[in-house]
Copies of this chain bind each other. A is one copy, B any other.
Amino acid sequence: MPGTEATPQVEDGTANAPRPDRRARRRLETIEEILDIAVEVMGEEGVNGLSLAEVARRLGVQPPSLYKYFPSLMAVYDALFLRGQLQHLDALRDAMSRADPGLPALCSGLDASGRWALEHRAVAQLLFWRPVPSFEPSPEAFAPSIEMVALQRAALADAVAAGQLGPGANAEEAVYLVSTMISGVLTQAFANEPGLQWGEGRFTPLFPKLMALLPAAFPVSGGPPAVWRPAP
B228–A208 touching, CB < 8 Å: yes
Contact check: which of B108, B134, B188 meets A230 at CB < 8 Å?
B108
A91 to B173: give the CA distance in the assembly, Å: 28
Q: Which residues of B contact A227 (CB under 8 A)?
A: 208-209, 212
The chain B residue sitting closest to A48, CB to CB, is B48
Is the CB of A183 closer than 8 A to any CB of chain B?
yes
Contact check: which of B98, B107, B188 meets A180 at CB < 8 Å?
B188
Name the prevailing secondary structure of the A interface residues.
helix
Q: Which residues of B contact A129 (CB under 8 A)?
A: 129, 187, 190-191
A228–B107 touching, CB < 8 Å: yes
B176–A203 touching, CB < 8 Å: yes
Q: Which residues of B contact A131 (CB under 8 A)?
A: 46, 48, 131
A180 to B213: give the CA distance in the assembly, Å: 14
A176–B202 touching, CB < 8 Å: yes
Given A206-B176, A225-B212, A227-B212: A133 and B184 interface contact (C-beta under 8 Å)? no
B230–A206 touching, CB < 8 Å: no
CB distance from A106 to the nearest CB of B (A): 9
CB distance from A39 to the nearest CB of B (A): 15
A131 to B133: give the CA distance in the assembly, Å: 12
Within 8 A of B (CB), among A179-232: 179-185, 187-188, 190-191, 202-203, 206, 208-213, 215-217, 225-231
Q: Which residues of B contact A180 (CB under 8 A)?
A: 181, 184-185, 187-188, 203, 206, 210
User: What are 14 sample pairs from A and B whose C-beta atoms fall under 8 A apart?
Assistant: A46-B134, A108-B231, A172-B202, A176-B188, A176-B203, A176-B206, A180-B187, A180-B210, A184-B185, A187-B187, A208-B229, A212-B225, A215-B226, A216-B216
